[in-house]
Amino acid sequence: MSLRSVPVVDRVTDAFFALDTDFRFTYLNDRAEDLLERSRGELIGRVMWDEFPHTVETQFPDGFHRAMDEQVPVSFEIYHTHLETWFETRAYPSEGGLSVFMRDITERKRQETSLAQHAAVIEAIDDGVFTLDRNREIVAVNDALQSYLGVDRGDLVGEHVEVVPELASVDDGDAVDFGRAITDVDIGTADSRTLEVPFTDADDVDRMGEFRVVPIADETATVAVVIRDVTDRHEHERIATSLHQVTRWLLESDDPEEICAIAVHAGSDLLDLPMSGVWLLESDKGYLEPVAGTAGAHDEFGGLPRFHPGEGLVWEVFETGDVECFDDLRTVDGLYNDDTPIRSEIIAPIGTHGVLMTGSLEPYRFDETDVELVSILVENTRAALDRADRERVLRERTAELERQTERLEGVATVLSNDLKAHLEDVADAVGSDDDAWEFPFAEQSVETTLDRTERLVDDVREFARNATAVRTRTPIRLTEAVSDALERSRLDADAVTVERAATLRADDDRFDTLLASAFDDVAARAIDDVTVRIGVVGLADGDGSRGFYLCEEGAEPPADPHDRLLDPTTDADSAISGLGLALVRAIAEAHDWSFSIASDDRRTRIEIRQVTTLEPADE
């Protein structure tokens, strides 16, 4: 089995450190600790300019500020006097700061200097090298240049320098710039010149070359040209720049599935990973659900599988939280599908959200660069998903606050109108000239009136509770819950019939209030004898989501509970009648159930659905 856990930045041979937007150190790899002669503990959280004040007089500030302000990669060479070392510094910006790589190029500098003094050195390096005299004629070439151009040394020596861009299929504009660079160095207007020039090698492969022109002191030659193949580096930088653009796209979206689709297609288009997919954790159900995949993955497998706990390498990697690269799956145990055509794959956890997997039909398809780029991609994806989660929570909280405000304003209006109606009755009676005035509650006891007022206060307290504040849900038998609610409601128990026994899970106290409030509302609207039938729905196929209903006959149709709050009206007969169905609706929604009312001249049917825990029960 070949299984590699790859901590990317610590395996990079270059010195690497990361800075936030205030230029404080947020990470250093081991090589950077050696270079700076300071440990992570000493530098993390510290400002670079404070810890290394001598760098203020170098190219670091200008280069880093330009990268941060313009959000473009920058590179420059710098000499470290204390270490007597030349470094090539490359800084890549992101919204969170800078990623800085420092490569020791001292040897390259020494080679270039030595080349200016000793022409024989050109044969010892892999870069293509040739020298020119004052007439721009080629004096000497090395084996690497012959290999690049596919010609013998004898066919080059003595030829004008123009033959090199011609053989390398260099664009006319780049050839002119190359000629100017040679002139600038030869006449002394520049110490050296470097250009990146696309060219085609002897095998007709398009490459990117770094053409460096330097002066030399030689009996015959005055200028040396070093051609380095930087195709891989150029491609890496192109991908890194593209990943920054992908990061912006990721952070602009607040839809998790869209974020995953962007990540998958970025991997396919930018990183040449045609068979990739993303799985997100369904926390309520406990499995990894496929949410995005490339066309190549769907074409090969006809769809992506769902992974349950303990199934395959995907779940194993998700649990460990480390990026894994599998070179040859035929040597790996614990596969989800032992007959899979995939031979090698990278599996990268996206934090606690899920995983990204990319595979190939070839063994040993992926190298450390692929792992590094996938790691960057999933880290950016994780940040985008974290942000989407935060914004979703914020939207939900904002919506809930708006709903609470609406409910509380409605409650205040209902309470005010109901009590005001009674006060007006008392005021009218007290101001009457009729000598036969009686206390307006003579026909109903003070105790009854106070009881109704207390019920309204209880309704207000219950209604004002946070709609999401449902306590632990426990098993409830519908028949028993109806019986308990009738004991504290104003509705005659003989008027209610439970047509089918069932069980469900709910907050016992609030469910009791829901039923009692519904029964009180029916009693308040009753004209003559009233009957209420309670049944269940959704247990049969095609009957919609599960739930229960209350079907009443013999009462006036109720107002919509939403209207009761937004446009409350009362009269003397209905004063202090409570919040009724508005409270029923609030408690139902607190349980994530749906609420609806349908009425005609004969009956009213109240349905509460999406009660997923409803099950039939024995009588």
Say yes or no: 94 and 137 in one domain. Answer: no
| Residue 438's pLDDT band (cuts 50, 70, 90) | low
Q: What is the span of the domain harbouring residue 143?
A: 125-235
Residue 147's Cα: distance from chain center in Å?
Answer: 48
The domain spanning residue 200 has which CATH number? 3.30.450.20
CB burial string 52-78: b at 16+ within 10 A, e below: eeeeeebebeebbeebbeeeebbebeb
Percent pLDDT > 90 in the chain is: 35
pLDDT at 288: 93
The token pair that represents 290 in the structure block: 């496929």
pLDDT at 566: 38
Say yes or no: 525 and 553 in one domain. Answer: yes
How far is 466 from 405, CA to CA, in rounded Å?
11
How far is 393 from 397, CA to CA, in rounded Å?
6
pLDDT at 467: 44
How far is 234 from 198, CA to CA, in rounded Å?
10
The domain spanning residue 289 has which CATH number? 3.30.450.40
Residue 570 scores a pLDDT above 60? no
| Residue 413's pLDDT band (cuts 50, 70, 90) | low
pLDDT at 572: 38
Looking at the DSSP assignment, which residues form a beta bridge with residue 47? 24
Q: Are 199 and 168 in contact, with CB atoms under 8 Å apart?
A: yes
Domain boundary among 47, 74, 105: 105
Say yes or no: 381 and 288 in one domain. Answer: yes
CA distances from 19 to 22, 49, 55, 250 (A): 7, 11, 15, 22
Say yes or no: 73 and 157 in one domain. Answer: no
Which of the pair, 9 or 31, is modelled with greater confidence?
Answer: 31
- Whether 426 maps to a domain, the answer reads no
How far is 438 from 441, CA to CA, in rounded Å?
8
Q: Is 263 exposed, middle or buried (0-12, 13-18, 19+ CB in 10 A)?
A: buried
Counting the structural domains of the chain, the total is: 4
Say yes or no: 137 and 67 in one domain. Answer: no
Q: Are 216 and 223 in contact, with CB atoms under 8 Å apart?
A: yes
pLDDT at 463: 59
Residue 418 scores a pLDDT above 80? no
- Whether 519 maps to a domain, the answer reads yes
In the three-class reduction of DSSP (H, G, I as helix; E, B as strand; rest coil), residue 351 is classed as coil
Q: Tell me: the pLDDT tens digits for 21-77?
A: 999 999 999 888 888 888 988 999 999 888 888 776 777 888 888 998 999 999 988
**Beta 287-293 vs 193-200: how paired, if at all?**
unpaired
pLDDT at 442: 46
pLDDT at 237: 76
- Whether 441 maps to a domain, the answer reads no
How far is 239 from 271, CA to CA, in rounded Å?
7
Which of the pair, 235 or 395, is modelled with greater confidence?
Answer: 395
Which of the pair, 271 or 442, is modelled with greater confidence?
Answer: 271
Which of the pair, 8 or 273, is modelled with greater confidence?
Answer: 273
Say yes or no: 224 and 135 in one domain. Answer: yes
Of 34-48, 121-135, 310-324, 536-550, the one with minimum mean pLDDT is 121-135
**If you search the block for the tokens 């040897």, which residue do you land on?**
107
Residue type at 345 in one-letter notation: E
Average pLDDT of the residues in 487-509:
92
Helix (H) or strand (E) segment spanning residue 300: helix 295-301
CA distances from 303 to 290, 300, 357 (A): 9, 8, 14
Say yes or no: 154 and 270 in one domain. Answer: no
Residue whose C-alpha is closest to residue 485's, from 460, 463, 518: 518
How far is 362 from 367, CA to CA, in rounded Å?
13
How far is 410 from 460, CA to CA, in rounded Å?
10
- Whether 455 maps to a domain, the answer reads no
Residue whose C-alpha is closest to residue 4's, from 375, 299, 474: 375
SS (H, E, C) 548-571: EEEEEEEECCCCCHHHHHHCCCCC
Q: Tell me: the pLDDT tens digits for 187-212?
A: 989 999 999 999 998 888 999 999 99
Residue 563 scores a pLDDT above 60? no
- Whether 17 maps to a domain, the answer reads yes
Say yes or no: 133 and 57 in one domain. Answer: no
| Residue 559's pLDDT band (cuts 50, 70, 90) | low
pLDDT at 474: 93
| Residue 548's pLDDT band (cuts 50, 70, 90) | very high
**If you search the block for the tokens 């796209």, which residue do you land on?**
249
Average pLDDT of the residues in 367-376:
86
Say yes or no: 381 and 506 in one domain. Answer: no
- Whether 201 maps to a domain, the answer reads yes
Sheet strands side by side (includes 474-477): 474-477, 502-506, 615-616
In the three-class reduction of DSSP (H, G, I as helix; E, B as strand; rest coil), residue 194 is classed as strand
pLDDT at 452: 53
- Whether 197 maps to a domain, the answer reads yes
Helix (H) or strand (E) segment spanning residue 174: helix 172-186
- Whether 243 maps to a domain, the answer reads no
How far is 2 from 328, CA to CA, in rounded Å?
7
Say yes or no: 370 and 264 in one domain. Answer: yes
How far is 415 from 329, CA to CA, in rounded Å?
70
How far is 485 from 196, CA to CA, in rounded Å?
83
How far is 385 from 377, CA to CA, in rounded Å?
12
Residue 215 scores a pLDDT above 80? yes
Q: Are 117 and 124 in contact, with CB atoms under 8 Å apart?
A: no
Average pLDDT of the residues in 122-131:
76
**If you search the block for the tokens 């045609």, which residue do you land on?**
274
Say yes or no: 208 and 298 in one domain. Answer: no
Which of the pair, 407 or 337, is modelled with greater confidence?
Answer: 337
Q: Tell me: the pLDDT tens digits for 376-403?
A: 889 989 999 999 999 888 888 888 788 7
Domain boundary among 359, 393, 427: 393
Residue 484 scores a pLDDT above 80? yes
The token pair that represents 236 in the structure block: 């890496």
Helix (H) or strand (E) segment spanning residue 453: helix 446-463
Which of the pair, 391 or 574, is modelled with greater confidence?
Answer: 391
How far is 503 from 496, CA to CA, in rounded Å?
18
CA distances from 377 to 16, 120, 132, 327 (A): 18, 45, 46, 20
Domain boundary among 363, 393, 423: 393
Mean residue pLDDT across the chain:
82
The domain spanning residue 490 has which CATH number? 3.30.565.10
| Residue 608's pLDDT band (cuts 50, 70, 90) | very high
Give the E-state strand segments of 467-546 in sequence order. Answer: 474-477, 496-498, 502-506, 526-537
Say yes or no: 289 and 229 in one domain. Answer: no
